Copies of this chain bind each other. A is one copy, B any other.
Amino acid sequence: MAIDPYSHTPVYVQLADLIRARIESGELAPGASVGSEMALSQEHGIGRDAVRMAIALLRSEGLVTTSRPMGTRVRETPQRRRVEIPPGGSVIARMPSGRERRSLQLDEGVPVLEVHGPDGDVEVLAADEVELTRPA
């Protein structure tokens, strides 16, 4: 299970796949460190750039967060609370713009929900905190 520099899939995608698998299997639990850039670079025999792009990719998927100087850790995802879609309303999911993300203080890789009420009112919610429901 090593990284193949001759593969057609970019090295940074391979590394991201590798780490993602470790997270999804539970081998890397929430809060666990995925290792420093230097360590990952040396362990896998790849360059800094590739490591940074792999981590950026995982960040953009909301799987990890990185801080200084603790490095990159598996993100702890919040519990989802139930939100009922209003009758006659609609919802779209999308990525927040830069300004939105900063003003809502969202981690990278967290989509938002635009909840439209029947009267034209709009609410923007962090998508990873919400489970949309419709009663039977």
- List residues of chain A with CB under 8 Å of any chain B CB: 13, 16-17, 20, 24, 53, 56-57, 59-63, 80, 82, 85-98, 108-111, 113, 118, 127-128, 130-136
Contacts and interface: CB of A to CB of B under 8 A. Distances in A.
A53 to B, nearest CB: 7
A110 B62 CA distance: 12
A98 B131 contact: no
Contacts of A132: 85, 90-93, 132
A57 B95 CA distance: 11
Contacts of A20: 97-98
Contact of A118 (B13, B53, B136): B136
A94 B128 contact: yes
Residue among A62, A82, A98, A113 with max Cβ neighbours from chain B (10 Å): A98
Contact of A127 (B59, B62, B93): B93
Nearest to A100: B61
Given A88-B136, A127-B94, A108 B17 contact: no
Contacts of A111: 93-95, 111, 127
Residue among A13, A24, A94 with max Cβ neighbours from chain B (10 Å): A94
